[in-house]
Amino acid sequence: MPFTLGKGVGAATAAVALVLPLALATPASADPDPGRVIQSVVASGVKQHLRKFQQIADANGGNRAAGTSGYDASRDYVAGVLKKAGYTVTLQAFQFPFFSENSTGVLQRTAPTPKTYAPTPPDGSSVGDFATMTYSGAGDVTAPVQNIDLALPPGEPNSSTSGCEAADFAGFTPGNIALLQRGTCSFQEKAENAQAAGAAGAIIFNEGQEGRAETLNGTLGEPTVKIPVVGASFATGQELAAAGTVVRLKADTISEIRTTHNVIADSKWGNAKRVVHLGAHLDSVLAGPGINDNGSGSAAILEVAKALGKVPTKNKLRFSFWSAEELGLLGAEHYVANLPAQELANTKLYLNFDMIGSPNYALKIYDGDDSDAVGAPAGPAGSDEIEKVFEKYFKTLRQKYVGTDFDGRSDYGPFIEAGIPSGGLFTGAEGIKTAEEQQMFGGTAGQAYDPCYHQACDTLANISDKALALNLGAIATAAVTFAYAGKLPGEGSQPTARTASAVVTSASTADGHGHGLTR
C-alpha cells in the first residue's frame, strides 16, 4: 500500500527498514543491525533540536546568523550534542566579511525641490527606489551630488565606465556625494574610487537599458569602503543627475571582518581512508531564525549523527555544520580549500541537506546524472549512484519525487568542484510550486515552496512535519547505506575536478540565496 505519514512524525523512519534490501550493501558484521539503527532515528528528536534553535534565536536578536551570538550559541549546542554522542569535534575557525544593516536607509533630495525616495528595508520585504549596498559603510551626510562620467541617455548594455578609473574623479569636490552609473567595472571599484577622491557618500544607479532599470540590490564584496553607498533605480539616478541637486544620504550599517566556525565531527569508527561526509549549513540570515533554512537540515543530520555515534561502521563518518553559507558558501569553501590532498582523496562522497521541511514542499533529489533536471551539468562520477539510493527509498514508500539541479546554491558546490561524488535532498526555497508538483505533493501551485524564505517568519511554524519525516528517513537510510558499503559511489571511476564555471556559483548575478549583484 502507498505510504502515509499518520499521526507520528517518526512514521517515515519506522518504514525505512523496507529500503535496506534494495539499497544497503553487506555490512561489515552482523552486529549492529543497520535496520534497527535507522529506526532509532525519529523525527521527534529533530523537532527537539529545532525547538532549541528557535529558543537560541529568540534569545539572540531573532537570528542565528554567522558572526552573531545566535550562531555561536547554535554552534555550541551542536558541538555539545556531538561530543556526547561520541564524536571527535573540531571547531574550524575562519574569518569572513560580516555585514548588517541595522535600520532602514534614507535618501532624500533637499534641493532644488524636496523629495523622499522609498527605501528597501533591511529584511528585503519590499523593493524601493534605492537599497543600501552590502558592505556599505555607515554615515548620515547631506551634500551636493556630483555626476561622475554618466552616460545619459545610456548606450549599449554594460558599456558605462562611470567611476571605473581614478581619472573620472578629476575635479571632484571632496565632501560631495558621487553619483555613479552601473557598467563595466564592479560596484566595489566605483565606491573605492569615490572614497579615494574624498566623496562623503556614493549612489550607484542602474544603467538604464531594458532589463537594467530596476533598483540595484548589490554588494561591494568586502568591507573596504567606509562611506555610505546605495544602489538605485535608473529613474532615481536620472532625477538625481539634474543640476543643483543636494541630497541627504544615510546608511546605518556594521561592515567588518569577523571570525566564525564550522563544526566538524568525526566518528571514532571506520576506515579513515573511506570517509562518508554529511553536511548542512547551520547559519541563518540576519532577518530571521532560519528554522527551515537551514535548521531543518542541521537538525536532521544531528539526529542521524546521534544514532550512529556509538555504532561501529565499516567506513568513517564525518558530519559538518557549515557557517556563513548565507554569505556565499564561505564555510564549505574554506573547508575544502584547506583540506590536505590526502584528506580530499579520502573523502569518498558528500551528502548535502539544505531546507528539507519547506511548508509548500516538493521532494527534490539532486540530479547526479542530469537525467531528469535541466540547466546544470551532472555531478562527478558516482553522484548518480547517490541519487539512486534516495530514489529507491522514495520508491519503496511509493512516494513521488522530482529531480533538482546542482545549481551551485548550497554547500555541495565546493565538493563538486573538487571532483567528489555528491548528492542530497531539498524541498524548495523561493521558487514557485508547479501544478504538476501540487498533484504529486499537495500544497498550493503558484506559490513559493517556502513563503518565509529568508524572513523573520521562518520559525517552527514554517516546517512541514511530513516533509521533514520523509526526508529524515531518506537521510538515515543513505547514511547507514554508505557507512557499511563495501563499494562506495564512484569507486572504479576516475574523478575529475570541475571548473568553477561548471556550477553556477558566480556572485556577479543575484541568485536569491545570500548573494547579490557585484556589478
pLDDT tens readout for residues 374-391: 667 789 999 999 999 999
Whether pLDDT at 448 is above 90: yes
Region 178-201: mean pLDDT is 98
Q: How confident is the model at residue 117 (pLDDT cuts 50, 70, 90)?
A: very high
pLDDT digits (tens, 9 = 90+) for 289-303: 999 999 999 999 999
463: its cell numbers: 516546517
Helix (H, G, I), strand (E, B) or coil at 47: helix
Alpha-carbon distance of 481 to 34, in angstroms, equals 8
pLDDT at 511: 36
Q: What secondary structure, in 3-state letters, does 83-127 show?
A: HHCCCEEEEEEEEEEEEEEEEEEEEEEEECCCEECCECCCCCCCC
Clarify whether 325 is annotated catalytic.
yes
pLDDT at 512: 37
Phi-psi region of 98 (alpha: psi -120 to 50; beta: other; left: phi over 0): beta
List all residues 6 or more positions away from 33 whose beta carbon is below 8 Å from its beta carbon.
none
Identity of the residue numbered 379: G
Quick one: 153 exposed, middle or buried, by C-beta within 10 A (0-12, 13-18, 19+)? exposed
Alpha-carbon distance of 26 to 46, in angstroms, equals 28
Percent of the chain at pLDDT > 70 equals 88
Q: How confident is the model at residue 401 (pLDDT cuts 50, 70, 90)?
A: very high
Please say whether the beta carbons of 363 and 400 come within 8 A.
yes
Alpha-carbon distance of 476 to 366, in angstroms, equals 17
List all residues 6 or more positions away from 229 whose beta carbon is below 8 Å from its beta carbon.
132, 133, 136, 137, 187, 191, 201, 202, 203, 204, 220, 251
141: its cell numbers: 551626510
Helix (H, G, I), strand (E, B) or coil at 361: coil
Helix (H, G, I), strand (E, B) or coil at 36: helix
Could you tell me which of 165, 163, 193, 194 has the C-alpha nearest to residue 177? 194
Could you tell me which of 137, 136, 138, 118 has the C-alpha nearest to residue 128? 118
Q: How confident is the model at residue 513 (pLDDT cuts 50, 70, 90)?
A: very low
Please say whether the beta carbons of 38 and 24 come within 8 A.
no
Residue-wise DSSP of 231-249 = EE-HHHHHHHTSTT-EEEE
Quick one: 345 exposed, middle or buried, by C-beta within 10 A (0-12, 13-18, 19+)? middle
pLDDT at 101: 95
Percent of the chain at pLDDT > 90 equals 83
Q: How confident is the model at residue 160 (pLDDT cuts 50, 70, 90)?
A: very high
Query: 246-266 and 139-147: which strand pairing?
Result: antiparallel
Whether pLDDT at 319 is above 50: yes
Widest pairwise Cα distance in the chain: 83
State pTM to two decimals. 0.86
Alpha-carbon distance of 320 to 332, in angstroms, equals 9
Whether pLDDT at 515 is above 90: no
251: its cell numbers: 546608511
Work out the angle at residue 296's Cα, subtended by the Cα atoms of residues 292 and 302, and round it to the nearest 5 degrees: 160
Q: Of 207, 325, 326, 387, which one is the catalytic site residue?
A: 325
Give Rg (Cα) of the chain.
Answer: 25
Alpha-carbon distance of 422 to 490, in angstroms, equals 10
Lowest-confidence region among 13-17, 314-318, 417-421, 469-473: 13-17
Alpha-carbon distance of 354 to 293, in angstroms, equals 7
Whether pLDDT at 336 is above 80: yes
Q: How confident is the model at residue 516 (pLDDT cuts 50, 70, 90)?
A: low
Work out the angle at residue 12's Cα, subtended by the Cα atoms of residues 447 and 490, and round it to the nearest 5 degrees: 85
Whether pLDDT at 502 is above 50: no
Q: How confident is the model at residue 312 (pLDDT cuts 50, 70, 90)?
A: very high
473: its cell numbers: 528517513
Alpha-carbon distance of 79 to 73, in angstroms, equals 10
123: its cell numbers: 529584511
Phi-psi region of 193 (alpha: psi -120 to 50; beta: other; left: phi over 0): alpha
Give the mean pLDDT of the chain: 90
Whether pLDDT at 163 is above 50: yes
pLDDT at 167: 97
pLDDT digits (tens, 9 = 90+) for 52-94: 999 999 999 999 999 999 999 999 999 999 999 999 999 999 9
